[in-house]
Every structure is written in C-alpha cells, then in structure tokens.
Amino acid sequence: MKQGNFADFIKHIELFRGLSDNGIITVASNIEERNLDSGDFLFSEGAPRTNIYIIREGEVELFRKTPYGKEDRLALFSEGDFLGEGSLMDDSPHSTSARTTLPTKVLIVDVSFMMEHGTLAVKILSNVARVISRRMRQINSRTSNMASQYVSGRSRTEHDLLGYRDLPAEAYYGIQTMRAVENFNISGVTLNFYPVLIHALAMVKMAAAKTNHELGLISGPVAEAIIRACQDLLAGKFLSHFVVDMIQGGAGTSTNMNVNEVVANRALEILGHEKGEYKYCHPNNHVNLCQSTNDVYPTAIKIALVKSNEKLMLVLKALIDSLNKKAKEFKHIIKMGRTQLQDAVPMTLGQSFEAYAVTLEEEIENLNKNAALMLEVNMGGTAIGTGINADPEYSRKVIRHLREITGLDIKLAYNLVEATQDTGAFIMYSSAIKRLSVKLSKMSNDLRLLSSGPRAGINEINLPPMQPGSTIMPGKVNPVIPEVVNQIAFKVIGNDLTVGLASEHGQLELNVMEPVIVQSLFESIEMLKNGMDTLNYRCIKGITANEEHCRNLVQNSIGLVTALNPYIGYENATELAKEAMLSGKGVYELVLEKKLLSKEKLDDILAPENMIGPMRVRD
C-alpha cells in the first residue's frame, strides 16, 4: 500500500481522530505494512510494548493464558480495529497476546515515532485515553449501571408501547432492553456473564434470517446484514451490550429483545444507517420474524447448554486423567481402608484414587445422555406451539439451518404445544450435574479426612499447601481447595432444587419461570468447571503420600484380623480382636503368642499383595 493510501485509510481510524491533514500524512509516512499468515503473533504476553497495530485486512484474536495453561479469548478484531495503543501510556509489558486467525495485513506504528512528534502525540494520546476509558467501562459493565454506557454524551430517542426514551448513541441495545435493565436489577449477573448463551441466541437469529430470506419474507440485503451482525456476536463482539439481568420476569422476553435490538442496530450500521432507524431493519419485524420468545429463548438455552456441556466434559476428563495418574503413582502403597470411619481392611492408596476416577468416569455418559435431551427444540411453535405468524415451511427450514450453523443434531419436537410448555430436559440435566457435584463433594470430604492432622489426624496424604490457614494459629495450613469444592456442591444442589420448583410452577401453555432455571443451570455449570479445574491443578496434581505412615497404620490395626477369618475362624478372630483392644498388643503378636498359625503362614496371609483383592484360601 502506498503512503497516500495509508493516509486515506488511517484518517477514518478513531485513534487518529482530530488530526490535521498534515498530521495524517506525517503518521502515514512512518507506517510499516506487514503481511501475516494465519497463526502469526503480533505480540505475546509479557513482551515489551513497542508498537501500535492497525488491522488493514484480516482478523486478529486477543487472548491470555489462564493459570492452568489454557487460552482464554478476550476479543476478536477486524479491519479498522487497532491494538497496542496502551504502549503510549506506559512501558509495562503486554498483559495479553494477539494472534491472527486469518491471513492478515497490519499497519505498524512504532511508539518511538510518537515520542519524536510531541504535538501529534498529545492529540493521539487524548484519543487513546478515550478508547481505554470506553474499553474499561465495557469490561466493568457487569457491575456498573446504565450510565457507564454513555461515552460521548450523545443520545438517540426510541419509542415503544409505553412511550419515548433517550438512549446513549453508542448503545446497540434499544428501549425495551433499557426498560428491562431498570425493572430487573436483581442478581447483578447479566447476560454477558455467559457468552455461550449470547452465541446460541445469535445462532438462532442467524438461522431465522436465512430461513426468512429463503421463504421470500425479507430482502437479501437485510438478511445478509442480520447474518453478519450475528457473526459479529459469534466472534465475541458487542457482548457488553447484553445488559439484562439473568433473572427477569416475562419468560425471557427481555433477553430476546436484547438480542433483537443489538442485532438490528448492528445490521443497520452494516446497511449504512444510524442506530435506531428501524424502518430499514426492525428488531421485531425483521430480526424476530416468524419467532416468539417462547420458541427462541428455550431453543437458544438448549443449544447453549449442549455447548457448555462440551466444555464441562473437557474439564471433567482432565480431572479424571489426573486421578488415574495418582492411582498409578500410589498403586504400591498399602493403607487401611475404613468403613463408618472405623478401620476395615487393607487396600492400596492407588485403589482409593482409582475409585475416584471410575466414579467420575460414570458421569461422562450420564451428562452426555442428559445433554442430548436438549437437541429437541420447538422452533416455529411461536407463542404457544400452534405456530401462529410463522410460515408453514418455517419450522422445517429453520431446523435445517440450525443444524448447519451449530453442528448439532437438532430435531424438531413432535408436538410443539407440548414442547413449548415442557421443561423436562432442564430437570434431567440439572439432576445430572447435581449427581456430579455430590460425587465431587464426597471425594473432597475424603481428601480432607485423609490429609487431616498432620500430627493428630489420619495424615495418609499431603495436600499441596495453598495459603496460611489461620490469623491466630501459626503454621496451620487448611485444605482450602476441597473445602471450596464442597461449597460449590452445596450451591449446585440448591440450584437443582430451584430448577425443580421453577419447573413445577409453570402454568398452562408456558413456563414463565424459565429465566431462573437458566440462571441456575449456567451458574452450576460455571462453578463446576471452575471448581474442577481448581481441584485438579491446585490439589490433585500436587498430592503426595506418607508411605511409611500408611504401612504403620496397617500393621498396628486390629482390622488385620479380618484377613485371618478363613484360617482361624470368626470366633477365634473375634476373641483375638477383643484381646488386642484390651491389651494393646498387635494382632500379629497375639497370633504367634497363641500359636494359632506359624510365622511363615502368618506372613504369607498378611502380605500386602494378598490382602488387597480376592485370594484363594490355601491350607
């Protein structure tokens, strides 16, 4: 690209707003253009900030690594977007990484150039401050009020059934979303807490737009604009404009209108119009055509739950893998098994961890089986399942598009009236995640007991120390990770009760309590994902065994007498156990003292490998 073309391009970039023509030319003359392949890095987390990057063509993802080494995408940037502007503010290293997802052309401005042109730098810096301010407000929009969405101070006026209202000019949501925010300041948890739900809503709206265009109900340009707007949402854009509380009255209508308005206003921009010029693309007449909240909302919920279950499976499988590795690591360590908190019979520490792995493996099939119930949807049923205001061909066609967009085996329910009022799939899946949480809690209880002490408890294992445990007792370290998993389980169990009550409280042709069902399910999944990751990386992987102590507990346990039953009989074994309790002597010592068995025979019977599984009795 030539210098003149650089100038024509960058003068439309917000970063250079307010610069004179000479200023634009000066910047353009100091730009380097670079062609990048898909997967190339613009910068990496921890690297020094040296450049501002402007995307000329292509696409760039901004991401960071979680404490567990996973990549967490933060945003997706395309033509006209810029990154690295913080390099003008301070010299701290990059806190994120930027990588191309497509072949990309970027324009690069070296920060040192800005430092050499003070007047330009001041103007650009004021633009940077405004951009960073807006980005920070978007990041914090989960906890701030509606005023945080006002950036420029400009506004637009919209109207609905109840009258006229002013909205911030920058807002992609509309008047009905604003009313919902005012009405439902309930939990503080807004739709943008769960991007997977917004993505699912975008998929539904995209499928509807394709279907309505195919049926000749909307024009090609409008359909294409709606589809592109939905693709923006799927790319992670505009999430901060989904501001409605997850818990809301109206059976999800506010959620549906939030997505209708955001998609419509983004589509208007794509069509070359201003936000709010709904005569060209209307939230209801175009984006919501042939739809009702009562088929859009449950369908999107189900798609989002299936996608969330896939991520939950990844975390669960990683935890199972760590437990299996510990089972192999500890397979040779003999320890005392316990029932009712009393000594029972010997086993290996490896068998304990293998049992944890197996019980969690069972949950993979159970969760997937119940998630599959979500694949039956009621799209085209509209208000109560009769299909009023939908084209006769709409249901069949929209299901086909949904299958293509989502990659899921989605099916149209046999009876749409029944499907519109039924919440059975949510009840079943909630029960499945409750079962998983109960198992995780039981395992956490075990870890706390087995690591108790260290001097006056069981102390068979050591959990990795994560933080000091007391403000008054020096040296105390608590099992904080299993403790937090216990608490997550309590919350999930409570959420399952909420789902059951909300499902029971539906009346006639619709269950209006679906929002609290949705909030409960997504909260449970999110907490379980985070909890299992935490348990895996901050606890399970770092567990060590006190091997000698485990063996000493076995050798000193009266429970050894159980292994002697087949050889000396139950009555003799009972008397032996009683005498051992009263005298303080060991079972081994008493057997030899009473000449019940020879030392060779006794050693053979009590050999660890002979006590941890079925064994043929030999004379």
Residues comprising the chain, all counted = 619
Distance between CA atoms of 555 and 273, rounded to whole angstroms? 82
Owner of token pair 């990549």: 71
Among 255, 251, 369, smallest CA distance to 306 is for 369
Among 347, 343, 353, 323, smallest CA distance to 335 is for 347
Owner of token pair 């900030």: 49
Q: What does DSSP say about strands 376-377 and 411-412: parallel, antiparallel, or unpaired?
A: parallel
Q: What does the block give as tokens for 217?
A: 């109900």
Owner of token pair 């991007």: 195
Task: Give the Å distances, CA to CA, from 476 to 479, 537, 544.
Answer: 10, 22, 18
Q: What angle do CA 282, 285, 287 make, to 5 degrees?
A: 70
> Which residues 6+ apart lie within 8 Å of 603 measured at CB?
none
**How many CB atoms sit inside 10 A of residue 259's CB?**
31
Distance between CA atoms of 470 and 478, rounded to whole angstroms? 8
Q: Residue 333 carries which side chain, given as an amino acid letter?
A: I
Task: Please name every residue paired with 544 in a beta bridge, in sequence order, or none if there are none.
Answer: 462
Cβ atoms of 448 and 543 closer than 8 Å: no
The verdict on whether 470 is a catalytic residue reads yes
Residue tagged active-site, from 92, 95, 152, 470:
470
Task: Give the Å distances, CA to CA, from 41 to 35, 59, 83, 430.
Answer: 11, 12, 12, 41
Residue positions annotated with a catalytic role: 470
